[in-house]
Structure 1
Amino acid sequence: MAEARLYFDWNAGAPMKAVARARFVDLLDRPGNGSSVHAEGRAARAVLEEARRSVARLCGTEAKGVTFCSGGTEAANTVLSPDWTLFGKPYRLDRLLVSAVEHPAVARGGRFPADRTEFIPVDADGIVDLGFLDRRLAELATAGERALVSVMMANNETGVIEPVAEVARIARAHGALVHSDAVQAAGKLPIDIEALGLDVLTLSAHKIGGGQGTGAIVRGRNGFAFPPLLVGGGQESWARAGTENVAAVAAFGVAADAAVADLSAMAEVAARRDRLSATLRDIAPDAVIFGERVPRLANTLSFAAPGVAAETAVIAFDLAGVALSSGSACSSGKVTASPVLTAMGVDPALVKGGLRVSIGAETSDEEIAAFGLRARNVFAAMKKQHGTAAA
């Protein structure tokens, strides 16, 4: 009998939570467009508003600040616009500053022109350079330019947690606005958009156990807004046109409630991650674990072993029944050098071997132990086949 597969790629997409799946399936047989005025339409609208309140609670804000969309990429492309408004009046932004370790959805700059987009460097641990940010925003303010700053809450590859509250404090001092990609942070870190000082953050449902293809834009209580990316009807209070996927949004809401509960399990998750780290150190003593000197998400382990190519390792682990990745899942089908590790100044030889293991609150001790056994076999086989120093 074949051994059960081990899913250790939760940062790419968490398994759908049973409660979210049940809510999704229950709604599939119900008719009704949330924009219709008849009873079925009103029922669908009530479902959407219930989910909106749940996502708002996850982020510490009001339901009216939540706009549902197709996922984190659409959400980022919507908010990364130079044409914001303040209480309905135009509020033009001249420049976009993004950290050098952002997800591609943010790193590409959204609707800002390429020559108006700049990168904020990071240190060797992947932490954004606050001194650089302060100086650059001061220069832009002196030149009469308004800026939007985008720094992720936690990195999708390394799990490194960024000092977004300090980023927001610096931005405020220079009249800049702040967006944070909170896709990986949700359910793993407490989020309070007001306490953090953010103007807007973005989420993706499938990272917290909702369904794929659903996300949210969450605004703070300060009167700022941005033009819709999709125009047409007046859905989502004119912030995003298109009929809402009621069942998927409802599942998102249920997953958001569950994500809040998951926070209490993060200490245990971190302990399991640390056992994985110890196992890898035993198997490959010269392995490098990225970001281990700074705060990281409890579930994420990013590492490389000298002489081990990521592409070969991902395939070898897959054949051994283990799903893991080599950085962002949005580059699936092509294992390329990680821009995140490159921005951190990691040796190019190690960048080519960067691997990511990510687990969840439901990952068991038995799965952690099974991973160790399979990893030992994988590294031993790779050493024998390629003559590497991997084990």
Structure 2
Amino acid sequence: MPEQTVAYLDHAATSPPRREVLEAVWPYLTSVTGNPSSAHAAGRAAKAGLDAARAAVADVLGARPGEVVFTAGGTEADNLAVTGIATANPRGRHVVVSAIEHPAVLETAFALRGHGFTVDVVGVDAEGRLDLDGLEAVLRPDTTLVSVMHANNEIGTVQPLAEIAARCRPLGVPLHTDAVQAAGHLDLDVDRLGVDALSASAHKFGGLRGAGFCWVRGSVPLAPVLHGGGQELGRRSGTSDVASAVGTAVALHLAASARDVEVPRLTALRDRLVDGVLATVPGALLTGSRTHRLPGHASFCFEGVGGETVLAELESAGIVCSSGSACAAGSDDASHVLLATGLSADLARTAVRFTLGNGSTGEDVDRVLAALPDAVRAAGALRT
């Protein structure tokens, strides 16, 4: 299929790197190649780039540069935040997570059970919003950490982090948020959000794959997960990837600067897509919240139709989307996120997700609306 014919609507899985990012990282791959831990001129030049990148990320977060740790992506950032805070905190051995967290958080929390921790999983409503009363019921004076994602990758629902923080703060419980899907689309000011730790992945907002960061408030103890030479101010050992850090900072700054324009644009495209699908595809069910939702995210279930078959039909029409989390690709298991919202396993397996991003257009939406009714009908006929 010629590349120019493809309507790419899977930005929640990955977004292409921005040209400005590629231009910014090129010098750090070709000429500024010193180790930033080295004392000579080449090392100092690399360290200057790393320091500038850290300051630029901190500026978007409204944080201090020394609180930013560059990582090899969102999964490592989540692991560092959850394990690092839990094991460094002398409060107790109790962790709380939501039922719709990404596996990078859920599996990390569950792994702590092998180290004497208990884990409470708080449910969500039919739209995927956290049960605040349920959260309050499980919080304890010795709760070590609460982790609730900013926005969900499969259904697009945005969580009320400030309200969640208001439940945690009286007990002095640190709040971590996986902001992998939110970064570039939503406000990341950590004080307005009320969070104590935040994770992000660069390739979701136009940076490079295999790059990300973890921010942890300076007053919150953090134990390293990777041990060695003590890079990243002793919190993440390993030779710093300066090029990836620079690319992350440039991409985050560009996305944050364009948010006032891009969010309304993507929201309008999303709403046109949602309204069109619900009007033209019989039995289509929007998953997640209609109002508390990522601007470029539209996800549906189609009863009686195989989601993977719909994807194949759409791809043959030049439309690329997904059935949900790219991290669970190839799994026959029903989505734990959709099950948590109350959907049956059979209905959850019909999920299809469209996610727009930088470069998505009205023409892309028109192509989906023209092709999806036939794709669903064809998938239904194949299933019967």
Please say whether Structure 1 and Structure 2 have the same fold, judged by a TM-score greater than 0.5: yes
Contact 2:91/2:144 (<8 A) preserved: no
Query: In the alignment, is the contact (CA less than 8 A) between 1:266 and 1:361 conserved in 2?
Result: no
State the alpha-carbon separation in 1 of the partners of residues 247 and 97 from structure 2.
31
Deviation string 1:185-232 (CA, Å, 9 cap, x unpaired) is 1111111112222111111111110000011111224x1121111110
1:272-311 correspondence to structure 2 within 5 Å:
272-311=269-308
The Cα shift of 1:368 comes to 1.7
Identify the residue that residue 84 of structure 1 maps to in structure 2.
Answer: 88
Question: Aligned letter for 2:120?
Answer: E
Q: Quick check: 1:227 aligned with 2:223? A: yes
Q: Which amino acid aligns with 1:303?
A: F
Corresponding residue of 2:232: 236
SS in structure 1 at match of 2:172: coil
Structure 1 partner of 2:123: 121
2:330 aligned residue: 333
**Equivalent position of 1:97 in the other structure:** 96
Q: What is the Cα deviation at residue 317 of structure 1?
A: 2.1
**CA displacement, residues 161-198 of structure 1 (integer Å, 9 cap, x when unaligned):** 10111111101122311101011111111111122221
Matched pairs, number = 376
1:209 corresponds to 2:206:
yes
Of the candidates 170, 195, 199, which is equivalent to residue 196 of structure 2?
Answer: 199
Alignment partner, residue 350 of structure 1 = 347
Amino acid at match of 2:222: F
- What is the distance in 2 between the residues matched to 1:301 and 1:16? 22
Range 336-345 or range 20-29, more displaced: 20-29
The residue aligned with 2:254 is: 258
Q: TM-score w.r.t. structure 2 length?
A: 0.93
Residues 14-93 of structure 1 mapped to structure 2, 5 A cutoff: 14-30=15-31, 31-81=33-83, 82-84=86-88, 91-93=90-92
Structure 2: distance between partners of 1:57 and 1:381 = 50
Q: In the TM superposition, what are the counterparts of 1:367-382 in structure 2 within 5 Å?
A: 367-382=364-379
Q: Does 1:112 align with 2:103?
A: no
Q: What residue number does 1:150 align with?
A: 147
Structure 1, gaps ≥5 residues long = 86-90
Gaps of at least 5 residues in structure 2 are none
Does the 8 Å CA contact 2:49/2:242 hold for their aligned counterparts? yes
CA distance in 1, matches of 2:364, 2:302: 22
**Contact 1:56 / 1:62 at 8 angstroms: preserved in 2?**
yes
Q: CA RMSD for the aligned pairs? A: 1.7
> 1:314 deviation in Å?
2.1
AA paired with 1:20?
V
Q: Does 210-219 or 282-291 show the bigger shift?
A: 282-291
Q: In the aligned structure 2, how far is the partner of 1:44 from the partner of 1:335? A: 45
Q: Distance in 1 between matches of 2:105 and 2:300?
A: 24
Question: How far off is 1:36 after superposition?
Answer: 0.7
After superposition, give the CA deviation of every residue in 1:48-83 in whole Å (9 maximum; x if it has no partner): 111111211221211111000111111111121222
Amino acid of the structure 1 residue aligned with 2:22? R
Please give the secondary structure, in 2, of the residue aligned with 1:212: coil
1:249 matched to 2:245? The reply is yes
TM-score under structure 1 length normalisation = 0.92
State the partner residue of 1:170. Answer: 167
Q: What letter matches 1:25 in structure 2?
A: W
Deviation at 1:333, TM superposition (A): 2.8
Which residue is 2:7 aligned to?
A: 6
Aligned to 2:356: 359
Alpha-carbon separation, structure 1, partners of 2:66 and 2:153: 28
Deviation at 1:287, TM superposition (A): 0.4
Do 1:283 and 1:379's aligned partners in 2 also have CA atoms closer than 8 Å?
no
What letter corresponds to residue 104 of structure 2 in structure 1?
Answer: A
Counterpart residue type for residue 47 of structure 1: G
* CA distance in structure 1 between the partners assigned to 2:249 and 2:210 by the alignment: 14
Tell me if structure 2 keeps the 8 A contact 1:152–1:181: yes
After superposition, what is the alpha-carbon deviation per residue over 1:272-326, rounded to whole angstroms, capped at 9, x for unaligned? 0111112212331310001244410111111111111112222222232221111
